[in-house]
Chain A
Amino acid sequence: MTYMKKPNVRHPGLRKNDLGLTRRDYEGLVSTLCAGCGHDSISAAIIEACFELDLPAHRLAKLSGIGCSSKTPTYFLNRSHGFNSVHGRMPSIATGANLANRDLIYLGVSGDGDTASIGLGQFCHAMRRRVNMIYIVENNGTYGLTKGQFSATSDRVSKSKKGEANLFEAIDLCTLAIHLGAGFVARGFSGDKGHLVPLIKAAFRYNGFAFIDIVSPCVTFNDHEDSTKSYDYVRAHNEAMDRLDLVPEREEITAHTEEGQTTTVRMHDGSLMRLHKLDDNYDPCDSESALTTLRKRYAKGQVVTGLLHIDNTDADLHELLGTTKQPLNAVPMGDLCPGNAELAKINKSLR
C-alpha cells in the first residue's frame, strides 16, 4: 500500500473515449493491498475495459463480498454504484438488485474463499438462474487476509509458503460453471492484461451470467517456488486457447480470418466477438469439448486460459421469469402496487 494519494495530474496526451473520458476517470482510490498484488492488475484491467467500451460509470454497480478481492471495487470506478455484502452473499445481493433494476450493468467481484468456500452455494444458484451479470473471481489459491492458509481452489500439488502439502483436491470453478449452465466461462491471468482486457470487454457485452476466473498471484503468501498460482508458474504453464477481438457494432469487419480457426459470435448488443482459436481440437461452443479440454490440460499441470465456453442462445433470468421490461423504479406506482382490490383478486384465484 501507499500513504500518498495518487496525484490528479495526468498526461496531457492521454486518449479520450467517446464519452470524453480518459482511463483515469475510471479509477478509484489508491489500493491498500500488498504492493504487487495480482488483484490490482485486475482492477486496472477492469478500468481499461470500461474505458475502451465507453461505459458510463454511473450505469454500473459493483458488488462484492469479503476478502482481499472483495475490497478491490474501492480501487476502480469510483463514480459507480457499489455494495460490499456479507461474506459469500454477493450473488444474492446481485440477484435482488438485478431483478429490481435490470438496466444497470452488474459487476460482481469475489475471491476464491468468498466464492469456492463460504459462498459456493450462492455462486451455483446465481449461475443456474442465469442472472445477467459479470462475475469475476480473483483467484489466488490462498486465504491472504488470514495469513495464507490453503483455499478451496489450491491445487493438490501446490505447497504452502512454509512447505506444507495440500491434502485436498481443488475445486475448478470453470468446470463447475460450465456444468451449471453459465453461458460465458473464461479464465484469465492477472499478469497478462493483453489477453485479459478483451475477455472482460466480451463479458460486459454478454447477456446472461458471464464468469471469469482470473488467476491472480498473492505476492505475500502464494508466489513461491512450489505454488501453482505464482507469477512464474502461471507464465510457464499458461496455455491460451484463444485470442479475442471484440468488434463494436458500428465497425465493419474487414480483416480476413483463416477458415476453421475463427469463430464469430454475435453478442446481444449487436457487436461481434471473434475468437481466434489456438487449439484445433477444442470448440468453445460445445460444452463437452470444453470440459474434456479442461480436464486433460489440468492433468498435465497446464493453466488453460481464454474464453473456454460460450452459449449465446439461452435466455437470462428476466426472460425466463417474464418480468417487466422496466426497472422497478420506473414502473408507475399504480402498476407497481395495484391496491387491495387487485390483491383480493389474486388471493381469490389461489384459493
Chain B
Amino acid sequence: MSSTDVAVKSRGMRPTDITDPDYFHKVVDCQWACPAHTPVPEYIRLIAQGRYTDAYMLNWESNVFPGILGRTCDRPCEPACRRGRLEDKPVAICRLKRVAADFRGDVSGLMPKIPKKKNGKCIALLGAGPASLTVARDLMPLGYTCVLFEKDPRGGGLMRTNIPSFRLPEKVINEEVDMILGMGVEARFGHEVTSLKAVLDEGFDGVFVGTGAPRGKDLEIPGREEAARNIHIGIDWLTSIAFEHVKKIGKRVVVIGGGNTAMDCCRSAIRLGGKDVRVTVRSPRADMKASDWEIEDAEREGIPIFDNHQPSEFIVENGKLAGVKFARMSAEYDKDGRRKLIPTGEEVVFECDDVLMAIGQDNAFPWIERDIGLEFGEWEMPIVDKTTMMSTRPGVFFGGDAGWGPENIIWAVAHGHQAAISIDLHCSGQSLTASRPAPGTSLVSQKMGMHEWSYANDYSEDSRVAVPHVATKKSLKNLKVEVELGYDVELALEEAERCLNCDVQTVFVRNLCIECDACVDICPVDCINFTANGEEQELRQSLRVPAANAEQDLYISDQLKTGRIMAKDEDLCLHCGLCAERCPTGAWDMQKFTYVERQANPVGQVNCMAYIS
C-alpha cells in the first residue's frame, strides 16, 4: 500500500461504537427524549399483546405516575417520534400509556416490599408533588424513613391542584399517590414549611425540596387594585376549585395568557357558569406556549382565542370590574428572527365579570434562610447541580419546578429519581458523581426463524387514531366528567401497530458482508449505503438520499473488502427488518436494545427486565 493509500484510508468517519449505550439509545427517539427514559416501544408492544399490567408496571418503575401522565404528560416523546418525520403525526404514545393504566389488573402484589427493619436514615421531603413522591417511592424500599411536609390537605401537588378533574379524575390521582403513601411515608399534611432552617434543625439525614413554582405572576396595570375582587390568579383559582372552595364564576370571563394553565382556566370557567369565555394572548397565535392539543380541546368547546391582545387596563365601574382594555399588537421579526411586539395603536375593550390571569409562574423561597450555606444564583433560584440535584449545602437537594423553574410532571419525576440516587449515596458516604450507577442495557437478536421476528415488523399505513371524547354538551355541564374516554382495546391495538419498534436495532457485522447490495435495494426508505468514506458533512451529502437531519447519527462500519464502508442514516429507518431478511449471510440482524435507567433501588431495574421478558 502506498503512502497516499494510507492517507485515503485514514480519512473520513470512524466506525460507530455500538457498545456505547448512548448510540442505540439515541435511535430510540421517544425513550431518548423522555426525561425519565421510559422504554416506550417496549410498553407499546406489551399493550399490543394485551399485557396491560406488565405495560403499566414497566411504566410505573420508570415514571411512577402512568395513569396521571397518560392523561397529562407534556409528551416530549411525541415530537421526537420517528413516525412524525415519515408522515404527519407521531404515535399517540401518551394516550397508549393511559391504556395500560385503564386496563391493568391489580398491582398491589407487584409493589416493592418495604423492609420492616429501617436503615436508620430519615429524609425530609418538602412538598407532596411528583418530585417528592418519586424520591419517596425510590427510597422507601431501601429502608429509609421518609417524612413528607405538605401545606395542602392531600398529596399530589400541582397534579391535584392545577389540573382540572375533567382532564384528570381525582380517582386516578388518589390511586397513584396512595401507592406511594401506602409504603409507609410519614405524611404531615396541612403543614406549611416556613423555615428550612427549622427543618434542618430536626436533624434529618437528607432534605429534598420539591415545593414547585407556586406563585402565579401578577399584572401591575391600572385598575388592578380596584378590581381585585374579580381578578384571580389562575393557579390559585384552579387550586380553589380542586378543594371545592370555588364553585362558580361570572358569565363573562376573560382569560389572560396563552399557556396550558390558561387553557385549563378557560375550560374550567365554562364549566362553572361562564357563558362568554375568551382567551387573550399578547403574542401571535403561533407563538402560544400551550400544547397544540390543549388549544384544540379549548377551541372544540367553543372558546375563542384572541391573539395579539396586550392588556393595558382593568376598567372599573362603580368600584367593580367592568372590562379589560387591550392594545392590539403586531409581531415584527428582525433579521435574527427575534420577535418584537409593536402596538398598532388600535384599542379594544372586552367587557367582563371576571378575569383569570395565567401569565406564568415564579419560584419563591421566602422560607429559605439565606445564611444556612445554601447559595442562590440568577433570578433568586438556588444553585443546584444538574446531575446530582444537590444544592451548595450538602444534604439538601432540589428537584421539579423548585429546582429548575416551571416544567412538567415528567421532568419532576426524572429529577426525583436522580435526587434519590444522590440521597442514597450521600447517606452511605459515597461520591455523588463517581459512584452513580450505570444504566442497564442489553442487545439481543429477535430472529425466531426464516423471516420471523419476535416483533410485528410490518409497517402499518394507518393514520393516528383519534381518542374518543364524551359529547361536549355533557362534559360542559359537569366539571368532574372526564372529557377523553381513552382508547378501547381495538383502537389501542390499531394505534400500537403504528409504533415502528425503534428499539429493535439494525446491527451490522462487517466481516459477514459480501457487498451484494440486497439490503440497499430492499430498504423502503433508502437509508443504507455502501460508499467511499469521507468527512461527515461530505459523506452525508453523498448518500442515496442526503442525510439532512444532523440530529440523527450515521451508523458507520469499518472498511469492507472493496475498500468501501457501510453508512446507514438512522433518521428514517422503519426498523422493518427487510435488510436482515434479504441479507444472505446474516450480516444484518435485528437486535432489541433494552435500556433501563438505574434508580436508587436496583430491584427496579431487575423488575423492568422481568416485565419485558
Against B, the Cβ 8 Å flags (1 = close, 0 = not) of A182-198 are: 00000000110100000
- Stretch among B4-12, B111-119, B511-519 lining the A interface: B511-519
- Stretch among B17-25, B136-144, B570-578 lining the A interface: B570-578
CB pair B525–A41 under 8 Å, yes or no, is no
Q: Which residues of B contact A219 (CB under 8 A)?
A: 514, 516, 584
CB pair A10–B524 under 8 Å, yes or no, is yes
Interface residues of A in 12-71 (CB under 8 A from B): 12-15, 23-24, 30, 34-38, 40-41, 43-44
CB pair A7–B576 under 8 Å, yes or no, is yes
CB pair B451–A7 under 8 Å, yes or no, is no
CB contact under 8 A between A41 and B578, given known A11-B545, A36-B583: no
CB contact under 8 A between A9 and B459, given known A35-B583, A36-B584, A38-B516: yes
CB pair A12–B451 under 8 Å, yes or no, is no
CB pair A2–B87 under 8 Å, yes or no, is no
Q: Which residues of A contact B521 (CB under 8 A)?
A: 40-41, 43-44
CB contact under 8 A between A36 and B585, given known A7-B576, A9-B87, A219-B516: yes
CB pair A36–B514 under 8 Å, yes or no, is yes
Report the bound CA distance from A235 to B525 in whole Å: 28
The reply to whether the CB of A8 lies closer than 8 angstroms to some CB of chain B is yes
CB pair A4–B526 under 8 Å, yes or no, is no
The reply to whether the CB of A300 lies closer than 8 angstroms to some CB of chain B is no
Q: Which residues of A contact B244 (CB under 8 A)?
A: none
The reply to whether the CB of B36 lies closer than 8 angstroms to some CB of chain A is no
Report the bound CA distance from A231 to B515 in whole Å: 8
Q: Which residues of B contact A191 (CB under 8 A)?
A: 515-517
The reply to whether the CB of B339 lies closer than 8 angstroms to some CB of chain A is no
Report the bound CA distance from A7 to B83 in whole Å: 14
CB contact under 8 A between A7 and B459, given known A12-B86, A43-B521: yes
Report the bound CA distance from A193 to B576 in whole Å: 25
CB pair B584–A35 under 8 Å, yes or no, is yes
The reply to whether the CB of A208 lies closer than 8 angstroms to some CB of chain B is no
Report the bound CA distance from A206 to B576 in whole Å: 40
Report the bound CA distance from A134 to B458 in whole Å: 37
Report the bound CA distance from A5 to B458 in whole Å: 8
Report the bound CA distance from A3 to B578 in whole Å: 10
CB contact under 8 A between A2 and B525, given known A9-B87, A11-B545, A35-B583: no
Report the bound CA distance from A40 to B582 in whole Å: 10
The reply to whether the CB of B135 lies closer than 8 angstroms to some CB of chain A is no
CB pair B517–A4 under 8 Å, yes or no, is no
The reply to whether the CB of A111 lies closer than 8 angstroms to some CB of chain B is no
The minimal Cβ–Cβ distance linking A224 to chain B, given in whole angstroms, is 12
Report the bound CA distance from A287 to B546 in whole Å: 42
Interface residues of B in 494-552 (CB under 8 A from A): 514-518, 520-522, 524-527, 545-546, 548
Q: Which residues of B contact A91 (CB under 8 A)?
A: none
Nearest CB in chain A to that of B526: its residue? A11
Interface residues of B in 226-263 (CB under 8 A from A): none
CB pair A2–B578 under 8 Å, yes or no, is yes
CB pair A36–B86 under 8 Å, yes or no, is no
Q: Which residues of B contact A5 (CB under 8 A)?
A: 458
CB contact under 8 A between A9 and B526, given known A2-B451, A2-B582, A40-B518: no
Interface residues of B in 552-589 (CB under 8 A from A): 561-562, 572, 574, 576, 578, 581-585
The reply to whether the CB of A147 lies closer than 8 angstroms to some CB of chain B is no
The reply to whether the CB of B457 lies closer than 8 angstroms to some CB of chain A is yes
CB contact under 8 A between A11 and B516, given known A2-B451, A6-B522: no
The reply to whether the CB of B461 lies closer than 8 angstroms to some CB of chain A is yes
CB contact under 8 A between A9 and B517, given known A4-B457, A35-B582, A36-B583: no
Nearest CB in chain B to that of A30: its residue? B522
The reply to whether the CB of A141 lies closer than 8 angstroms to some CB of chain B is no
Nearest CB in chain B to that of A13: its residue? B545
Report the bound CA distance from A11 to B526 in whole Å: 7
CB pair B572–A11 under 8 Å, yes or no, is yes
The reply to whether the CB of A113 lies closer than 8 angstroms to some CB of chain B is no
CB pair B561–A235 under 8 Å, yes or no, is yes
Q: Which residues of B contact A37 (CB under 8 A)?
A: 516, 518, 584
The reply to whether the CB of A217 lies closer than 8 angstroms to some CB of chain B is yes
Return the contact of A14 from the options B518, B526, B584 (Cβ within 8 A).
Answer: B526
Against B, the Cβ 8 Å flags (1 = close, 0 = not) of A209-222 are: 00000000101000
Nearest CB in chain B to that of A34: its residue? B584
Nearest CB in chain A to that of B517: its residue? A41
Against A, the Cβ 8 Å flags (1 = close, 0 = not) of B448-473 are: 00010000011101000000000000
CB pair B545–A2 under 8 Å, yes or no, is no
CB pair B545–A14 under 8 Å, yes or no, is yes
Q: Which residues of B contact A41 (CB under 8 A)?
A: 516-518, 521
CB pair A11–B527 under 8 Å, yes or no, is yes
Return the contact of B461 from the options A4, A7, A23 (Cβ within 8 A).
Answer: A7
Q: Which residues of A contact B562 (CB under 8 A)?
A: 235
The minimal Cβ–Cβ distance linking A286 to chain B, given in whole angstroms, is 32
Report the bound CA distance from A11 to B82 in whole Å: 12
The minimal Cβ–Cβ distance linking A73 to chain B, given in whole angstroms, is 16
Report the bound CA distance from A217 to B514 in whole Å: 11
The minimal Cβ–Cβ distance linking B303 to chain A, given in whole angstroms, is 35
CB contact under 8 A between A36 and B578, given known A4-B451, A9-B461, A13-B545: no
CB contact under 8 A between A13 and B517, given known A7-B574, A235-B562: no
Nearest CB in chain A to that of B459: its residue? A7
The minimal Cβ–Cβ distance linking B90 to chain A, given in whole angstroms, is 14
CB pair B574–A217 under 8 Å, yes or no, is no
Q: Which residues of A contact B582 (CB under 8 A)?
A: 2, 35-36, 40
Q: Which residues of A contact B545 (CB under 8 A)?
A: 11, 13-15
The minimal Cβ–Cβ distance linking A260 to chain B, given in whole angstroms, is 25
Nearest CB in chain A to that of B586: its residue? A35
CB contact under 8 A between A193 and B517, given known A2-B578, A235-B561: yes
CB contact under 8 A between A9 and B525, given known A4-B578, A4-B581, A15-B545: yes
The minimal Cβ–Cβ distance linking B517 to chain A, given in whole angstroms, is 5
Against A, the Cβ 8 Å flags (1 = close, 0 = not) of B81-101 are: 000011100000000000000
CB pair B451–A3 under 8 Å, yes or no, is yes
CB contact under 8 A between A35 and B518, given known A4-B451, A4-B581, A235-B562: yes
Against B, the Cβ 8 Å flags (1 = close, 0 = not) of A253-289 are: 0000000000000000000000000000000000000
Interface residues of A in 303-345 (CB under 8 A from B): none
Q: Which residues of B contact A38 (CB under 8 A)?
A: 516
Return the contact of B546 from the options A13, A40, A43, A190 (Cβ within 8 A).
Answer: A13
CB pair A6–B516 under 8 Å, yes or no, is no
CB pair A36–B526 under 8 Å, yes or no, is no
Report the bound CA distance from A312 to B517 in whole Å: 33
CB pair B548–A13 under 8 Å, yes or no, is yes
Against B, the Cβ 8 Å flags (1 = close, 0 = not) of A160-177 are: 000000000000000000
Q: Which residues of A contact B578 (CB under 8 A)?
A: 2, 4, 6
Report the bound CA distance from A190 to B521 in whole Å: 12
Report the bound CA distance from A30 to B518 in whole Å: 11
CB contact under 8 A between A231 and B516, given known A11-B545, A13-B548, A15-B545: yes
CB contact under 8 A between A35 and B548, given known A2-B451, A7-B574, A11-B526: no
The minimal Cβ–Cβ distance linking B119 to chain A, given in whole angstroms, is 54
Nearest CB in chain A to that of B546: its residue? A13
CB pair B581–A35 under 8 Å, yes or no, is yes
Q: Which residues of A contact B514 (CB under 8 A)?
A: 36, 219, 223, 231-232
The minimal Cβ–Cβ distance linking B548 to chain A, given in whole angstroms, is 6
Q: Which residues of B contact A12 (CB under 8 A)?
A: 85-86, 572
Nearest CB in chain A to that of B531: its residue? A194
6 sampled A-B residue pairs with Cβ under 8 A? A2-B522, A11-B527, A35-B518, A44-B517, A190-B517, A219-B584
Q: Known contacts A41-B517, A232-B514, A232-B561; can you find 19 more A-B pairs with CB under 8 A? A: A1-B451, A4-B578, A6-B578, A7-B459, A7-B461, A9-B459, A11-B545, A13-B545, A13-B548, A14-B526, A14-B545, A35-B518, A36-B514, A36-B582, A41-B518, A41-B521, A193-B517, A219-B514, A219-B516
List of 6 A-B pairs having minimum Cβ-Cβ separation, nearest first = A36-B584, A7-B459, A44-B521, A36-B516, A2-B581, A35-B584
